[in-house]
Amino acid sequence: MADPWTSERQAGIAPPDLWDPLVRISHWGIAFIVVMNALFTKGGSPLHLWLGWIGMALLLLRLVWGVLGPVEARFSAFPPSPRAALSHLRGLVSGRAPQYRSHNPAGALMVYAFWVTLAVVIGTGLLRTGGQTPMQAARDAAAVASGDWSVLVTETDGGGESRFGTLPGEVHTVAANLLLILAALHVAGVAVESRAMRRNLVAPMLTGSKRRRG
Amino acid sequence: MKVPFLKPGSQRRRPVAVATFLVVQTLAAVFFVGDALGELLSDADGTHSSFEMLVAVALITGMIFGGMELRRTLERMRTQEAALAVASGALADVIRAQFANWGLTGAEQDVAFLGLKGLDVAEIAEIRGSAQGTVRAQLTKVYAKAGVSNRAQFAALFVEDLLGASLVEPVAKAG
Ligand code: HEM
Ligand code: HEM
């Protein structure tokens, strides 16, 4: 018989059974976009720009939600603290890591690293394209295709390199690869944490079907 | 205990719909504002920019209302889930909090809980591997601390919770 008494939720120190839909949608949307753009779409192609811009919108929405969202989605629930992260990792090794209301401190660092790197990738991508939306890029491409080369002239950067030279493009590619490395660490971290805490961390990011019984 | 008319699954679909709508609104706002800014920067004639400003403001306002609606839906759902939790097993938490309030010792809490579950003195004694006299004495202490005189009254304190009355303060006993 399971101990009928235990429920950390009552004390407010258990992670959510199910993340709110906005966290879930933005997570899987961003994960899909990062994998697609870093590995499968051609850099600078219309699809690449569309996905990149959608990723930017999802990131913006998630950041706003970090202030306005429910408690466990707010930045204040998972402050970046390398010291807490280290002590959490030590706790994991010795099997005595506590529960947290939101991301654990090590996971929280990972989350901020993701967001910063993603912002760098998107920012350099925008620099690289002169801030053109995919629609504008398509319009210009159509104009060029129909023989109107003037759009190329009005572009100060001449369609090739931006005003900052090749730097944004290089930073963009490096940061994109960094995202992939982070993602690998992230998935490994989720697996380790799930094992150590004997709790499925992925289910609450999906449908939360593994509901804990009271 | 099953509460058939409140299926968590069906409740959870509403916030997902609201969130999806919010995502679509955000996409519209980001793409529209990006496009308008791009045009503003490339050909600096301000003819249609005031109209675009209006649309941008409308889109962003829609986003804010969408966000507030999502927040409200989530909060309402959580209140309902908390009520449902009381009905379906997390009542144990409510009971435990109340026991602690009364200052029951660990052993008394266990005995009281088994008593609430309907076990009689002999059964409790067997489960706990203690003498029936001990259990009887413990139950008497529990009832005294709760300010009631028998098991029926004791159980009634918690039935109130199920019926939706105040959760924790049937008896405020100085202790
Ligand atoms: C989710 C985020 C993104 C990831 C993971 C990503 C990843 C990448 C990678 C790996 C490359 C190099 C591809 C290659 O060399 O063929 C690349 C190129 C490029 N990306 Fe992105 N990207 C993202 C978002 C964006 C955004 C938002 C924009 C523009 C608004 C953009 C514009 C470009 C351009 C113009 C190139 C060509 C760069 C060059 O050749 O110098 N990317 N991207
Ligand atoms: C490139 C791919 C990915 C990126 C960029 C990414 C990014 C993120 C971010 C930013 C968060 C924080 C969520 C928030 O608070 O909004 C997060 C959480 C999470 N991610 Fe990912 N993720 C990726 C892939 C994955 C994959 C493949 C899995 C499945 C194994 C996964 C499982 C999780 C889980 C379970 C959490 C919640 C962790 C917790 O309980 O604290 N992620 N991820």
Output A96 or B72, whichever has higher pLDDT. B72
> What is the number of the ligand closest to the CA of A115?
2
Our mutation pick for probing the ligand 2 site, out of A27, A60, A121, A202, counting the most ligand atoms within 8 A of Cβ, is A27
Tell which atom from ligand 2 comes closest to the C-alpha of A62. Answer: 16
What average pLDDT does the structure give for chain A? 85
Q: In this complex, do B38 and A25 lie within 8 Å of one another by their Cβ atoms?
A: no
Mean pLDDT is lowest, of A55-69, A135-149, A169-183, for A135-149
Find out whether A125 and A170 touch, Cβ atoms under 8 Å.
no
> What is the residue whose two structure tokens read 């939101």?
A102
Q: What CATH architecture applies to the domain B103-164?
A: Orthogonal Bundle (1.10)
Q: In this complex, do B92 and A54 lie within 8 Å of one another by their Cβ atoms?
A: no
> Other C-beta atoms within 10 Å of B4: how many?
5
Mean pLDDT, residues B16-21 taken together: 91
Measured between beta carbons, the chain A residues lying within 8 angstroms of B39 are: 136
In this structure, what are the phi and psi dihedrals at residue A165, rounded to the nearest 5 degrees? 70, -150
The answer to whether residue A160 scores a pLDDT higher than 90 is no
Predicted-complex ipTM score:
0.81
What is the model's pLDDT at position B52?
A: 82
Output the CA angle A83-A84-A90, nearest 5 degrees.
Answer: 95
pTM of the model: 0.75
Domain ranges of chain A: 19-208
In this structure, what are the phi and psi dihedrals at residue A196, rounded to the nearest 5 degrees? -65, -40
Mean pLDDT is lowest, of A120-129, A141-150, B21-30, B115-124, for A141-150
A162 burial via Cβ count (<10 Å: 0-12, 13-18, 19+) = buried
Q: What topology does CATH give the domain A19-208?
A: Fumarate Reductase Cytochrome B subunit (1.20.950)
Per residue in B4-14, pLDDT (tens digit) is 334 444 556 77
Domain ranges of chain B: 9-87, 103-164
What is the model's pLDDT at position A174?
A: 96
What is the model's pLDDT at position A58?
A: 97
CA distance A105 to A82: 8
Task: Please name the member of A22, A64, A133 whose beta carbon is closest to the beta carbon of B19.
Answer: A22
Per residue in A62-110, pLDDT (tens digit) is 999 999 899 899 999 999 999 999 999 999 888 888 888 899 999 999 9
Per residue in A175-204, pLDDT (tens digit) is 999 999 999 999 999 999 998 888 889 999
> What is the number of the ligand closest to the CA of A39?
1
Output A11 or B153, whichever has higher pLDDT. B153
Selected residue of B20, B23, B162 to mutate for chain A interface (largest A Cβ count, 10 A):
B23
The answer to whether residue B35 scores a pLDDT higher than 90 is no
Name the strand (E) or helix (H) holding B148: none
What is the model's pLDDT at position B4?
A: 37
